Amino acid sequence: MKVGIKGRFYIEHFDVNGKLKGKYEVPNGIVDVGMNHILDTQFHNTAAASTWYIGLVDNAAFSAFANADTMAAHAGWAESVAYTEANRIEWAEDAAAARAITNSVTSDFSINATVTLKGIFITSDNTKSGTAGVLWSTAAFASNVSAVNGDTLKITYTVSG
């Protein structure tokens, strides 16, 4: 039996008045260090990351995601920190069931500036603009997402195999 791991982001974008501005569904790519981390934790007795966090990718100066991206080196993109929360938002996943794991409570970003977003990433470090931790995955929106002060992004992330 062939097992393939894949992930998908579901985003609801609301304005300051709670009106839905858009819904986005985005598949992610699992980067090399992310896949190596999963293999090492399951088969090589390496400690697993206890918590994962979601970050936003700024469209400014975006050129590309790459399989070789890490938190310390990702020349094709930069993180957007245009949200009020002090840290990246935790992906509070529920227990796995039916070959999938997801968060039943959304990970919410309170946007505090005008920004154009290119995508999303998952990492094991919660520090905004931090370069430590394991980068698990990256995902690009089908088209850029424009957000303004007062908007909220509510994100659900599902990994399945």
Distance of alpha carbon 83 from alpha carbon 150, whole angstroms: 9
The whole-number average pLDDT for the span 9-38 is: 94
Task: Work out the average pLDDT over 32-61.
Answer: 89
pTM of the model: 0.93
Spell 106-138 as b/e; 16+ CB within 10 A means b: bbebebbeebebbbbbbbbbbebebeebbbbbb
For residues 129 and 40, which has the higher predicted lDDT (pLDDT)? 129
What is the per-residue pLDDT for 141? 97
pLDDT of res. 46: 81
Q: Give the pLDDT score at 3.
A: 61
